Amino acid sequence: MKKILVLLISIVSLGASAQHADYTVSSYLDEGIKAPNTHYLGEAWLSRILQEDENLPYNLVKATFKANSTLDWHKHSTTQVLIVVEGIGYYQEKGKEPYIMKTGDIIKCLKDTEHWHSSSKNNDVTYLALYSGETPTEWTEVVSRQYYDAVAEKLKEN
In this prediction, residue 104 carries a pLDDT of 98
In this prediction, residue 6 carries a pLDDT of 42
In this prediction, residue 135 carries a pLDDT of 72
Taking Cα atoms as reference points, which of 148, 156, 157 lies closest to residue 40? Answer: 148
Cα Rg of the chain (Å, integer): 20
Taking Cα atoms as reference points, which of 89, 139, 94 lies closest to residue 113? Answer: 94
One pLDDT digit (tens) per residue for the chain, 158 residues: 554 444 344 444 444 445 556 887 777 677 777 777 788 889 998 888 877 788 878 888 899 999 999 999 999 999 999 999 999 999 999 999 999 999 999 999 999 999 999 999 999 999 999 998 767 789 999 999 999 999 999 998 54
Helix or strand holding residue 115 (H, E): strand 115-119
Spell 40-74 as b/e; 16+ CB within 10 A means b: bbbbbbbbebeeeeeeeebbbbbbbbebbbbbbbb
